[in-house]
Amino acid sequence: MAKLKTLANAGVVNSDGFYVVGGRTAIDFANSATRMGSEGDGLASMDDLMQFLKSLGHLHEDEASAYHMYLFQAPDRCQQMMTTLQDVRARFRDCLKQAADGWPMDMGFMTSLNEMLASFHTRLELVPSDGGYEVKTLLVEDGPEQLMYPILKDVAEFLASDQVEKVRQCAADDCELFFVNQSRNGRRRWCSMSTCGNRAKVNAYLKRKESA
Ligand SMILES: [Zn+2]
């Protein structure tokens, strides 16, 4: 737990243990297979997904209770949705690898993503906000699948952005995390200096000392 706190302070994970080195929902989703402080897949269950969305500000506590109903009423449907989402994540990670290596991305993934996005119907609503109003995009239908919307939307927006050519996978052998290289000199190699970057520096130092 002490480790989680340290890494949360360094901005590597959030207080729920999800990696946030991606800097945006789409990339944090790609990195969500591992979660600090928990075994197995970080998004194994719909509860995990709700925690993930809450921790990224996509789901409010009062909205979550409505989704909890689905877990009781339609557990199979919820688990099916999680399987779909894990499959999307695996295919999206393949695309990120292709982009990081300078290859064209799998067009089949874009087609599937478009098919999924087509199943969401939205409406706009003017709602009060701090000192004024804001226009919110609301989903029309109900269902556990609605939880996928903020993720799929950001994956699509990411793929349409200039961040695609800046996506990288951490240079550490034992680290699978992706990040968007926004460093000014474009030389960032590690998911985070607090973890892999530091470890590499220490290893390089020990090597130099050994050969000296
Ligand atoms: Zn790393």
Tens of pLDDT, residues 54-83: 999 999 988 898 899 999 999 999 999 999
Name the residue among 82, 103, 104 with its Cα closest to residue 33: 82
Distance CA 100, CA 98 (A): 6
Q: How many A from CA of 129 to the centre of ligand 1?
A: 38
Task: Report pLDDT digits (tens) over 175-189.
Answer: 999 999 988 888 889
Distances (CA, A) of 106 to 54, 97, 175: 30, 10, 23
CB 177 within 8 A of CB 31: yes
Would the pTM of this model clear 0.85, i.e. be above it? Answer: yes
Tell me the CA–centroid distance for residue 32 and ligand 1, in Å. 13
Inform me whether the pLDDT recorded for 1 exceeds 80.
no
- In the chain, the N- to C-terminal Cα span, in Å, equals 38
Angle (CA) 6-7-12 rounded to 5° is 160
Distance 28 CA to ligand 1 centre (A): 13
CA of 13 to the centre of ligand 1 (A): 12
Domains of the chain: 2-211 (1.10.3300.10)
**Cα 30 to averaged position of ligand 1 atoms, centre (Å):** 14
State residue 63 phi and psi, 5-degree precision.
-75, -35
